[in-house]
Amino acid sequence: MRIKRPMVVLITCIATLVAGLLVLNFAPGEKKIDTQLTRLYDTDDPQFRRSLGVLLGPPIIEGNKAEVLLNGDKIFPAMLDAIRSAQKSISFETYIYWEGTIGREFTDALSERARAGVKVHVLLDWIGSMKIDDKSLDEMRRAGVEVHRYHKPVWWKLARLNNRTHRKLLIVDGKVGFTGGVGIADKWRGHAQDPEHWRDSHFRVEGPVVGQMQAVFNDNWTKATGAVLDGPAYFPALVAQGDMPAQMFSSSPTGGSESMHLMYLLAITAARHTIHLSNSYFVPDELAVKALVAAAKRGVDVRIITPGPIIDSDIVRAASRERWGELLEAGIKMAEYQPTMYHVKALVVDSLLVSVGSTNFDNRSFILNDEANLNVLDPDFAKQQEAVFEDDWKHARPITLQAWQNRPFMEKIGGKLADLIGAQL
């Protein structure tokens, strides 16, 4: 059948529009780092700290306290207690917020505080919160909670559809902050006791760095709403609560999309003794592989824990394992967590630097998503997180180079195919 010329023009226009949107969504907005970093200093050199706080991110400030919370049984009660104690403001940004028993508890707690006159601001990623019922959102709004969905599909934002907020931030009264890997869903409940309950870590923070956490939340709140949150309800005077130097590090494709990537590369390049990396979606790019291999070759003990066969994305696991050859050949120790899905996102370098938050070790976190990590430079805190790593290692299965080379043929084919879209994982 002959297609009339106007129809050809229309089809061509639609195809061009779709192609243009795909390019805008899947291409990085800024020039990528394309050269391996030169090693200029160790992590204990004052220049390392200056570079973290001047070259890359906000200043590293003194006087903070950070507490690790392991798994939902510890994480959710601490977050809910903070929400229920709020007197002035609650700022809450998360990727996953689903229906379920824990979702109901958060909805009830946020709504109750809003009705009590607390200023409650909730920013949910549109994709990550698709499993929450509109009734729950309406319930919060009726109670006075300001709820917004980040990058909800509308025609003037279609070019940003692939840019999601993956940040996990809760700030109460501008004084207490939480960040880490946990989402608001029932699979995070419990204590990682079975395959239905995930292993994860979250962190409760006090001290001047909480002001930086509030500023990171404000960044996306202003983008989503056009409103600026300011004043003592959000930025009170903060006094020292501990002795940990810390900074709240963030990145976004709309500004500084390579910052998180560069921070990880800088820390790995500066490592002198040890690197303990826990990550739920470990799909390193070429630069990250080179940096890890170079660290191993100069004698750094590099160990990495990833999820095992219990994972919510088989394609991510396939793409990850495809890239392990060069790492294993360099002597890097790899292990897969066995009991349940491993959702931890933590980097500990030289028993000094701890970086924890929402960032996965993949291109999506480094280039496409909005992410936020808490960086702490404290030997005691670092040793505590190394102890957590050691306990996780006991529940992980080491993967040798020989085992990786002898993996089934179909697994190798699947890895090759998954690797083709590795930049989007």
Catalytic residue among 125, 200, 219, 350: 350
User: 208 phi and psi, to 5 degrees?
Assistant: -60, -25
Low-confidence ranges of the chain (pLDDT < 50): 1-3, 7-27, 29, 155-156, 158-159
User: 326 phi and psi, to 5 degrees?
Assistant: -65, -35
Catalytic residue among 345, 370, 378, 392: 345
Does a structural domain hold residue 147? yes
Tokens representing 318 are: 């396939």
Beta-bridged to residue 150, according to DSSP, are 125
What confidence score (pLDDT) does residue 23 get? 39
Tokens representing 194 are: 């079975």
Concatenate the DSSP letters of all residues of 103-145 into one string: HHHHHHHHHHHHHTT-EEEEEEETTTTTTS-HHHHHHHHHHT-
Cβ-based burial of 93 (10 A; exposed 0-12, middle 13-18, buried ≥19): buried
Does a structural domain hold residue 11? no
Catalytic residue among 119, 200, 343, 362: 343
Active site residue 345: yes
Helices and strands per DSSP (H, E), number in the chain: 14, 15
pLDDT for 92-148, tens place per residue? Answer: 999 999 999 999 999 999 999 999 999 999 999 989 889 998 999 999 999 999 999
User: Within 13 Å of residue 387, how many CA atoms lie on the same side as its CB?
Assistant: 8
For residue 253, give the nearest of 26, 94, 29, 93 by alpha carbon.
Answer: 29
For residue 152, the Cα-to-chain-centroid distance in whole angstroms is 20
Active site residue 197: no
Does a structural domain hold residue 103? yes
What confidence score (pLDDT) does residue 409 get? 87
Does a structural domain hold residue 2? no
Beta-bridged to residue 267, according to DSSP, are none
Judged by phi (left if over 0) then psi (alpha if -120 to 50, else beta), residue 124 lies in beta
Active site residue 370: no
Enumerate residues 6+ apart whose C-beta is below 8 A from 32.
258, 367
Catalytic residue among 119, 148, 166, 187: 166
Does a structural domain hold residue 16? no
Does a structural domain hold residue 9? no
d(CA 131, CA 196): 18
Tokens representing 176 are: 């207490």
Active site residue 219: no
* DSSP 8-state class, residue 367: I
Task: Tally Cβ neighbours within 10 Å of residue 193.
Answer: 13
- Per DSSP, the three-state class of 203 is strand
Enumerate residues 6+ apart whose C-beta is below 8 A from 14.
none
Catalytic residue among 173, 200, 285, 370: 173
The CATH number of residue 240's host domain is 3.30.870.10
- Per DSSP, the three-state class of 218 is helix
Exposure string for 326-352, b = 16+ CB within 10 A, e = fewer: ebbebebbbbbbebbbbbbbbbbbbbb
Q: Provide the number of structural domains found in the chain.
A: 1
d(CA 179, CA 69): 10
What confidence score (pLDDT) does residue 365 get? 81
d(CA 331, CA 287): 18
For residue 171, give the nearest of 216, 136, 128 by alpha carbon.
Answer: 216
Beta-bridged to residue 170, according to DSSP, are 92, 178
Active site residue 173: yes
- Per DSSP, the three-state class of 308 is coil
Active site residue 350: yes
What confidence score (pLDDT) does residue 346 get? 97
| Residue labelled with tokens 């009660």 | 77
Does a structural domain hold residue 120? yes
Does a structural domain hold residue 288? yes
What confidence score (pLDDT) does residue 25 get? 46
What confidence score (pLDDT) does residue 31 get? 53
Q: Which residue segment(s) compose the domain that 276 sits in? A: 28-424
Q: How far is CA 106 from CA 81, 103, 221, 344, 357, in A?
A: 10, 5, 19, 22, 20
Catalytic residue among 119, 121, 151, 168: 168
